């Protein structure tokens, strides 16, 4: 294998796979990526949960392939200047030359690289890249991290077929809060599907979508999902298991509706939560006609209060929240205002986005 | 200067039985457990005069007192009486530490202005207990718990004694060290080896000597020898470090289902007590005593604070399943530590039906508080509810068991 690549092109490609390549692995091969030069050149990286495959622009002098340590090559490429010549040598050595510098890096043969699932003849859906990115952004923050209820460590893609369209619902929850957004897709689907995409897969997908536009294709399989974004294919294993019945926890027919300015609320939360940050992050909302008083009290340190204007006409109510959950939800929402729908101090509160797709977040209060 | 008062009920279980059944009054009565291998838990003073002692088995007791009447203990009756007694104490001071089912410490320092001298308060409490329950109590008073306990011990039964600060040196000078509360046979033996036999000698012993022999408690031993004890009357139950329960089983068991059922009962008792005091813990400790009396504990720390019976039980069973039992089990215990007040800001759960579960437990606790323990219980425990176990001496009325302090 021998190919010439521009520094910027290689650096960008390597940057893209750094998040996929497994750094703490016990399998050395997973800290490598595969570079393959056939008619065109492409690179591949996986941690066995997700896999990323994308093209790379290169002048192919000699066909071939090699598994290369991803981190080390990235460090080298960052420092060198001009065009880079990659050349495989005997015993899986890779010779890297750029300008007057040369490096020798030990690689692994192609055969050692794990076989990645291939897209089969399965159902497919088309979705706008910008829409999908937006939907992920508005839900992924609520997914769990290394929760023992492992299905919570992923983002639910609930696909509900309608006549010639499909409703796509994305749901993320960590058991304390739940974010949900729904959208109609023009593609039809044969049957209802509930797929759980691991958080890492969702985060990688969001990152790739940030620099893409147009329509992407999603292939759905029993154990895997494939996202084709231009020439890039992101594959992810799906989490097996039953996702909680999310619809049940979304409070409905809420009498007390409070409309608050988004930026004002965020700033007030940031300020008041300074006093409660260490231990519990609890902030109390005293909601009255026309205003909310945010209060945080930390017996060991002190307290903070801030009054903000709110559109509200009901009876007064006092309710505690984890400030971080509120800030995560509010930050993810578009529009100038946020609607809070409250039932009782110990029942879930619903936050609704005023603009956009109408993202919602259910937040379980704190007992304060 | 503090004034501490100890109420020690005279042969409590036997006296309660004699009160509830007039035919037993004035006769030698021994209260025994309900199991087959039971021993005497309390003997009435009439029985004691024949030489019947706590811990004797039925056969031994019959030998020294052929006319002895055996009564199977009724724990419900005793715990109820203990609760009622605590109400009486609470009229005199809010600082009440129910130390065991038949002993309670009262800090009456602040009550003297209201009720009169320690002797007068002691008399009033004695009279009220006698009038309401027909029971005799011995009351000991002193400037600290140690001296109050000593005053009670030396004036039993039906006694009333106040050891004043200035009387302490004379009262304890010639007293053998093991007469002091907290000095047991082993420590007394070791002190004896150092030539220390009386409290006077202990109080004069160089602290360095005691420290080199007993380590950190050496200093406390010297203070005890001088009649000094600074330990407070612990009425503030929230300072508890662990909440738990243990029980000697009616018979030795080894089958997992049976152990599981008792663990559920114990988890319920521990959980209920924790809930009553609005505490939740993140560490569950299981105590196991084998038939051979070999006893050990094992604990598991989890990532959240719990006080729900099922969660305690599940964690306890996880511990049990990790133990390879080498013998049949005689006693089981469950306790919760790493306690935190649940009143503190706590994030509620969205998915687990948290509030529903909490309401269920609160309701069940309410029913059991009002109508007696185990009125409402877990179905899994039902096959094993037929016989009550012998009450543990560590029983507290509604109190938190301070096992770690």
Residues B72 and B182 in one domain: no
- Per-residue pLDDT tens over the stretch A203-260: 999 999 998 899 999 999 889 999 999 999 999 999 999 999 999 899 998 889 999 9
More confident residue, B251 or A138: A138
Q: Yes or no: say if A368 and A358 are a contact pair by the CB < 8 Å rule.
A: no
Residue B400: pLDDT band (50, 70, 90) is: very low
| Predicted complex ipTM exceeds 0.90 | no
Residue B10's CATH number: 3.30.70.270
The arithmetic mean of pLDDT across residues A125-130, rounded, is 94
Q: From the CA of A162, how many Å to the nearest CA of chain B?
A: 28
CA distance to A319, B10, B82, B307, B308, per residue, from B363 (Å): 24, 37, 24, 15, 13
In DSSP terms, A3 is beta-bridged to A60, A86
pLDDT value of position B396: 53
Residues A225 and A280 in one domain: no
Residues B263 and B377 in one domain: yes
Residue A238's CATH number: 3.10.150.10
Residues B27 and B68 in one domain: yes
Which chain A residues are closer than 8 Å to B343 by Cβ?
367
The arithmetic mean of pLDDT across residues B11-36, rounded, is 87
| Residue A159: inside a domain | yes
Q: Is B95 left (phi over 0), alpha (psi -120 to 50) or beta?
A: beta
pLDDT value of position B301: 86
The arithmetic mean of pLDDT across residues B49-72, rounded, is 89
Cβ contact (<8 Å) for A282 and B345? yes
pLDDT value of position B376: 78
Asked if the model's pLDDT at residue A289 lies above 80, the reply is yes
Residue B343: pLDDT band (50, 70, 90) is: low
Residue A366 forms contact with B (CB below 8 Å) = yes
* H/E stretch holding B209: helix B207-214
In DSSP terms, B138 is beta-bridged to B8
Nearest by CB to residue A177, choosing from B345, B350, B355, is: B350
CA angle centred on B292, ends B71 and B179, rounded to 5°: 65
Burial A240-250 (b: 16+ CB within 10 A, else e): eeebbebeebb
Asked if the model's pLDDT at residue B135 lies above 60, the reply is yes
Residue B131 designated active-site: no
Q: From the CA of A366, how many Å to the nearest CA of chain B?
A: 4
Cβ contact (<8 Å) for A346 and B349? no
Q: How many residues does chain B have?
A: 405
From chain B, which residues contact A within 8 Å (Cβ)?
Answer: 343-352, 354-355
Residues B140 and B1 in one domain: yes
HSE of B87, CA atoms in CB hemisphere, 13 A = 9
- Per-residue pLDDT tens over the stretch A104-124: 999 999 999 999 888 888 889
Residues B157 and B16 in one domain: yes
Residue B257: pLDDT band (50, 70, 90) is: confident
pLDDT value of position B240: 58
Residues A76 and A32 in one domain: yes
Residue B380: pLDDT band (50, 70, 90) is: low
More confident residue, B294 or B159: B159
Residues B323 and B197 in one domain: no
Residues B185 and B326 in one domain: no
Residues B246 and B202 in one domain: no
| Residue B402: inside a domain | no
Point out the domain boundary residue: A228, A248, A268: A248
- Residue A74 structure tokens: 């990235």
What's the CA gap between A353 and A336, in Å, rounded? 9
**Count of domains in chain A?**
3
| Residue B396: inside a domain | no
Spacing of C-alpha A21 from chain mean position: 16
B17, B46, B95, B103: which is the annotated catalytic residue? Answer: B103
Residues B317 and B359 in one domain: yes
At B63 the three-state DSSP class reads: helix
Burial A121-160 (b: 16+ CB within 10 A, else e): eeeebebbbebbbbbbbbbbbbbbeeeeeebbbbbbbbbb
Q: Which residues contact A153 (CB under 8 A, 6 or more apart)?
A: A143, A144, A145, A146, A147, A198, A199, A239
Residue B279's CATH number: 3.30.1490.100
Q: From the CA of A244, how many Å to the nearest CA of chain B?
A: 8
- Per-residue pLDDT tens over the stretch A171-197: 999 989 999 999 999 988 889 999 999
Residues A40 and A136 in one domain: no
Cβ contact (<8 Å) for A365 and B348? yes
R_g of chain A, CA atoms, integer Å: 25
Q: Yes or no: say if A226 and A78 are a contact pair by the CB < 8 Å rule.
A: no
Domain that holds residue A236: 123-248
Pairing relationship of beta strands B29-32 and B69-72 according to DSSP bridges: parallel
What's the CA gap between B296 and A53, in Å, rounded? 57
- Residue A214 structure tokens: 């147009």
**Count of domains in chain B?**
3
Asked if the model's pLDDT at residue B402 lies above 50, the reply is no
In DSSP terms, B119 is beta-bridged to none
Cβ contact (<8 Å) for A366 and B346? yes
| Residue B230: inside a domain | no
Residue A216 forms contact with B (CB below 8 Å) = no
Residue keyed to tokens 């007039």: B22
Asked if the model's pLDDT at residue B19 lies above 80, the reply is yes
Residues A208 and A285 in one domain: no
Residues B13 and B157 in one domain: yes
Percentage of residues of chain A with pLDDT beyond 70? 99
Residues B200 and B315 in one domain: no
What's the CA gap between A164 and B37, in Å, rounded? 78
pLDDT value of position B355: 64
Q: From the CA of B302, how many Å to the nearest CA of chain A?
A: 12
Residues B325 and B280 in one domain: yes
Q: In what order do the strands lie in the sheet with A41-46?
A: A64-69, A32-37, A41-46, A50-56, A232-237, A224-229, A215-220, A123-128
More confident residue, B53 or A280: B53
The arithmetic mean of pLDDT across residues B91-104, rounded, is 87
pLDDT value of position A299: 76
Cβ contact (<8 Å) for A364 and B348? yes
pTM flag (> 0.90):
no
Domain that holds residue B40: 1-144+153-161
| Residue A368: inside a domain | no
């Amino acid at each position: 294998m021998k190919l010439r690549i521009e520094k910027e092109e290689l650096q960008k490609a390597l940057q893209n796979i750094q998040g996929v390549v497994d750094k703490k692995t016990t399998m050395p091969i997973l800290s490598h990526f595969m570079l393959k030069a056939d008619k065109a050149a492409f690179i591949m990286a996986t941690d066995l949960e997700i896999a990323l495959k994308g093209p790379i622009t290169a002048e192919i002098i000699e066909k071939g392939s090699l598994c290369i340590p991803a981190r080390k090559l990235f460090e080298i490429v960052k420092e060198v200047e001009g065009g880079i010549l990659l050349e495989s040598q005997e015993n899986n050595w890779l010779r890297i030359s750029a300008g007057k510098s040369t490096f020798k890096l030990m690689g692994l043969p192609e055969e050692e690289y794990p076989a990645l699932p291939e897209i089969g003849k399965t159902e497919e859906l088309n979705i706008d890249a910008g829409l999908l990115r937006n939907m992920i952004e508005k839900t992924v923050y609520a997914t769990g991290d290394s929760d023992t209820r492992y299905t919570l460590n992923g983002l639910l893609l609930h696909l509900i077929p309608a006549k010639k369209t499909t409703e796509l619902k994305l749901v993320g929850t960590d058991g304390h809060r739940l974010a949900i957004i729904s959208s109609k897709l023009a593609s039809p689907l044969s049957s209802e599907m509930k797929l759980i995409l691991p958080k890492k897969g969702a985060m990688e997908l969001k990152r790739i979508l940030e620099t893409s536009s147009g329509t992407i294709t999603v292939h759905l399989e029993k154990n895997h999902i494939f996202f084709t974004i231009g020439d890039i294919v992101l594959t992810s294993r799906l989490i097996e298991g039953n996702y909680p019945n999310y619809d049940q926890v979304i409070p409905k027919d809420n009498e007390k509706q409070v409309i608050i300015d988004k930026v004002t609320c965020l700033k007030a939360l940031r300020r008041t939560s300074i006093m409660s940050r260490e231990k519990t992050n609890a902030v109390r909302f005293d909601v009255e006609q026309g205003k909310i008083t945010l209060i945080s009290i930390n017996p060991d340190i002190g307290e903070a209060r801030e009054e903000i204007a709110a559109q509200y006409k009901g009876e007064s109510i006092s309710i505690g929240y984890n400030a971080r959950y509120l800030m995560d939800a509010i930050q993810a929402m578009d529009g100038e205002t946020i609607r809070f729908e409250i039932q009782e101090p110990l029942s879930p509160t619903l936050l609704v986005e005023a603009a956009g797709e109408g993202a919602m977040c259910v937040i379980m209060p704190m007992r304060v | 200067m503090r004034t501490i008062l100890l109420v020690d009920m005279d042969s409590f279980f036997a006296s309660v039985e004699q009160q509830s059944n007039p035919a037993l009054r004035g006769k030698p009565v021994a209260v025994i457990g309900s199991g087959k291998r039971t021993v005497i838990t309390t003997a009435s003073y009439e029985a004691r005069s024949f030489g019947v002692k706590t811990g004797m088995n039925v056969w031994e007791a019959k030998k020294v007192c052929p006319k002895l009447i055996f009564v199977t203990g009724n724990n419900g009756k005793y715990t109820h009486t203990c609760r009622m007694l605590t109400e009486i104490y609470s009229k005199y001071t809010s600082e009440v530490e129910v130390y065991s089912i038949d002993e309670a410490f009262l800090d009456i320092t602040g009550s003297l202005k209201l009720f009169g001298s320690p002797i007068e308060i002691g008399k009033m409490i004695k009279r009220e207990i006698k009038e309401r329950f027909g029971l005799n109590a011995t009351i000991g008073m002193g400037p600290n718990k140690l001296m109050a306990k000593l005053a009670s011990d030396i004036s039993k039964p039906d006694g009333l004694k106040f050891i004043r600060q200035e009387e302490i040196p004379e009262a304890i000078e010639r007293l053998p060290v093991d007469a002091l509360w907290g000095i047991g046979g082993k420590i007394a033996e070791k002190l004896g080896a150092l030539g220390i036999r009386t409290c006077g000698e202990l109080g004069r012993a160089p602290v360095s000597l005691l420290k080199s022999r007993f380590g950190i408690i050496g200093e406390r031993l010297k203070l005890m020898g001088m009649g000094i004890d600074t330990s407070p009357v612990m009425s503030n139950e929230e300072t508890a470090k662990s909440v738990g329960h243990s029980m000697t089983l009616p018979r030795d068991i080894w089958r997992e289902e049976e152990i599981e059922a008792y663990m559920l009962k114990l988890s319920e008792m521990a959980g209920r007590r924790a809930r009553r005091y609005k505490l939740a813990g993140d560490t569950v400790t299981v105590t196991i005593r084998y038939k051979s009396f070999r006893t050990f504990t094992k604990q598991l720390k989890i990532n959240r604070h719990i006080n729900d019976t099922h969660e305690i039980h599940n964690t306890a069973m996880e511990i049990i399943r990790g133990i390879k039992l080498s013998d049949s089990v005689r006693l089981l215990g469950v306790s919760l530590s790493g306690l935190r007040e649940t009143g503190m800001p706590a994030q509620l759960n969205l998915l687990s039906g948290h509030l529903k579960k909490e309401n269920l437990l609160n309701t069940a606790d309410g029913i059991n508080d009002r109508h007696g323990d185990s009125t409402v219980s877990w179905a899994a425990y039902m096959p094993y509810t037929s016989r009550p176990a012998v009450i543990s001496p560590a029983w507290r009325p509604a109190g938190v068991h301070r096992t770690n302090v």
